[in-house]
Amino acid sequence: MTQKSTDPALQIVDARRREMAIEHLLFGTIRFVAQRHPELLDALDASLDHLWDKGPDGERDDEAVREVARRFVKSLRAER
């Protein structure tokens, strides 16, 4: 693991890389579990109404966050 940077631009790059890595690992985990328990995708779909954007008030868009999650679930369904 690399040392944390104090440069704001590098902090953004590091955050993006962490987000991509976490997204990949989480997506793979959900795929693995959903292959064995297809009802998981229905449960995830049903939970999306409770998902919200934690960004600052001027940037918050709860529905945009839910749409990203819907696309993930849809792509997982397409793989079955």
Ordered by start, the domain boundaries in the chain are: 8-79
* Average pLDDT of the segment spanning 14-40: 95
CA distance 71 to 77: 10
Does residue 20 or residue 1 have the better pLDDT?
A: 20
DSSP state of 2: P
Q: What is the pLDDT of residues 39-80, one digit of tens each?
A: 999 999 999 999 999 988 899 999 999 999 999 999 999 987
Q: Which residue type does 76 have?
A: L
* Average pLDDT of the segment spanning 20-34: 95
Q: What Rg do the C-alpha atoms of the chain give, in angstroms?
A: 16
Going 60 to 70 to 14 to 2, the CA torsion angle's sign is positive
